[in-house]
Homo-oligomer: A and B are copies of this chain.
Amino acid sequence: MNTETVSQVISQEDLLKHWQGHRALTRRVIQAFPEKDFFEFSVAGMRPFAKLTDELLAIAAPALRGIVKRDVQPFTEGSTQGFTTKAQYLEQWDKDTKDIDALWQQLSVEDFSESFNLFGQYEFPIIQNILYFIDNEIHHRGQGYVYLRALNIAPPFFWER
């Protein structure tokens, strides 16, 4: 049996599609917020969606870059510092979408079981790190759905990717 015919629980290509599908949905959630509310509105004293997006952007592409290059860098939300418009966030989002696609091609199936010390703090197999990025995004986006409902705005369908 050679690797081309080996069954995978999930293929590398499908995992990327899964991740980018979630990122496309989060992009729709950013778009759904009125400009002002994206930066200011929240429920129960939690972070506004712009602040949650700072975190998501600080993880996805920078973390994958660290993994691919095996370059341990500390966590920083610096890339979005000074952003004052949704358009700036969306532009960064799209740039990172392309970067993620390109970086992904540099991974091999074997890499996913290797350990990497993400942000110098989370020493786990790479697959676990990547699933964490996705899960953390779904989690915070779920908060964003509540913010939108509280603003009387219908969020995008969860299954739209």
Contacts and interface: CB of A to CB of B under 8 A. Distances in A.
Contact of A8 (B2, B109, B134, B141): B109
A149 B46 contact: yes
Number of this chain's copies in the assembly equals 2
A22 B135 contact: yes
Interface of A: 1-3, 6-12, 14-15, 18, 22, 43-46, 109-110, 112-113, 127-128, 131-132, 134-136, 138-143, 145-146, 149-150, 158-159
Given A10-B9, A109-B9, A145-B143, A135 B138 contact: yes
A50 to B, nearest CB: 17
A143 B141 contact: no
Contacts of A132: 159
A52 B68 CA distance: 38
A6 B159 CA distance: 32
Contacts of A3: 1, 6
